[in-house]
Amino acid sequence: MAEMKFSLEEYLQELEKLVNIDSGSRDPEGTAKIAAYFAERFSQLGWKAQLHTTDVSVGPCLQISNSGKEPFDMLLIGHMDTVFARGDAAKRPFSVRNGRAYGPGVVDMKASLLSAYYALRQLQAEGALDNASICLAFNSDEEISSRHSRPWIESLAGKSRCAIVLEPARADGSMVNTRRGVGRYTITCKGVPSHTGIAPEKGVSAINELAHWILGLHGLTDYAKGTNVNVGVVKGGTTPNTVAEDAVAEVDVRMTELAEAARVQQAIEEMLQNPRTPGIKVTVSGGVTRPPMQPSAATLALCERVDAVAKRIGVEFAWIATGGGSDANLTAALGVPSIDGFGPVGGLSHTVDEYMEIDSVEPRMTLLREVIRDFAGGVK
């Protein structure tokens, strides 16, 4: 079958439409619009698109498959949500300057979703997917730790021979096979308020207790083991002359080893059992939201296969470890060979300066397409 000529112009026009639709994680209507867009595009190719509601607070997830035959040869995972608020796209619409495209979610990861569509459309036109079963999983809450879509992603990963995650390639072009794990906790201290001039001894200071927690938590950091704990937000108290009734801390934990997640969890439980302020009530919520992703032998074999494809088509990149979590953490933890970073190259994600290197669109799409082709004919 004739090769479809890739048109960067057409791609950027389509990307512009997608970027100009606000689709924050907390904007169910916005993410639903992105889902509807891709459902329609893939339906036109004859693929089956199904929406899944995981929670009313977030938009639907979108599952798309060409044959529906399980196990899937490959699961392609992307997210439709961004970290940006409603109205941001109107304030900073899609734009192009000096070879870079800008706009909310341009590279993280609206371009990735579009690249996957273009790659699959071409493979299908060439008949390369006739004997392959490909599934796409686009979720709508990745930027809030996939808290609702996690079971859905995990169930699809469990039916897949490998998982390719479409997060953007790093600013230097690298792709990712190792990611640190992430934990999030909220520590809430409830004391007894009292006037410091009249009856200080009747007060129970929530801030005093929280101070012990902050020091204890930061003391759990162990850089040698790849673990760091950060109390990033602290709130509490009302006035200087009132013993503080309330104090809250929000905590971020990063770890390279799963055992470290357990060590931190255990230390938190010990602090909870042994409050330092008599009369205080402490509650802890949260836990590990993304287990660390360490490449298994099967993942390393997958990387080698990608390297071979990349060499053949002349795309150069390195594999790196990164501190950020993605849905690859979830699939890797299930033992499914998982690699990440298959989107175009870009940087400054989650900021107003987020950009995509326009030059990278075609080579990275070609890499993705040829890797899928390799698997479509290979893993049997």
The binding site for Zn ion (CB under 5 A) comprises 108-109, 167
Closest distance of CB 112 from Zn ion, Å: 8
Report the nearest approach of Zn ion to the CB of residue 31 (Å): 13
E-strand spans in the chain? Answer: 48-52, 61-65, 74-79, 95-97, 100-102, 134-139, 163-165, 168-169, 175-179, 181-190, 194-195, 228-236, 242-243, 246-255, 281-290, 319-322, 338-340, 343-347, 355-357
For Zn ion, the closer CB: 167 or 357 = 167
Q: For Zn ion, which is the closer residue by CB, 245 or 357? A: 357
Residues 191, 268 contacting (CB under 8 angstroms): no
β-bridge partners, 233: 250
d(CA 81, CA 175): 21
Place of tokens 């595009």: 41
Nearest distance from C-beta of residue 108 to Zn ion, angstroms: 4
Q: How far is the CB of 249 from Zn ion (least distance, A)?
A: 27
> Percentages helix, strand, coil for the chain, rounded to the nearest 5?
40, 30, 35
> In the complex with Zn ion, which residue's Cβ is closer, 100 or 110?
110
Rounded alpha-carbon distances, angstroms, from residue 32 to 18, 36, 84, 360: 12, 6, 15, 28
Question: What is the closest distance, in whole angstroms, from the C-beta atom of residue 46 to Zn ion in the complex?
Answer: 28
Residues 6+ apart with CB under 8 A from 199: none
Q: Which residue is nearest to Zn ion (CB)?
A: 108
CA distance 285 to 335: 28
Question: Which CB, 166 or 372, lies closer to Zn ion?
Answer: 166
The rounded distance, in Å, linking the Cα atoms of 209 and 141 is: 34
CB of 350 to Zn ion, least distance (A): 9
Tokens, residue 231: 């109390």
Minimum Å distance from CB 372 to Zn ion? 20
> C-alpha distances in angstroms, 183 versus 105, 169, 193, 262?
24, 24, 31, 11
- C-beta closer to Zn ion: residue 147 or 212: 147
Rg (CA), the chain: 23
The nearer residue to Zn ion, 72 or 342, going by C-beta atoms, is 342
Beta bridge mates, 286: 185
- Omega before residue 71 within 30° of 0, cis: yes
As measured in angstroms, the least distance from the Cβ of 143 to Zn ion is 7
Give 77 or 310: the residue with its C-beta nearer to Zn ion. 77
* Strand-by-strand arrangement of the 48-52 sheet: 48-52, 61-65, 134-139, 74-79, 163-165, 338-340, 175-179, 319-322
To Zn ion, the closest distance from the beta carbon of 174 in angstroms equals 15
Nearer to Zn ion, 337 or 341 (CB): 341
Q: Which is nearer to Zn ion, 180 or 373 (CB)?
A: 180
Residue keyed to tokens 């961004």: 82
Cβ proximity to Zn ion, 194 vs 349, nearer residue: 349
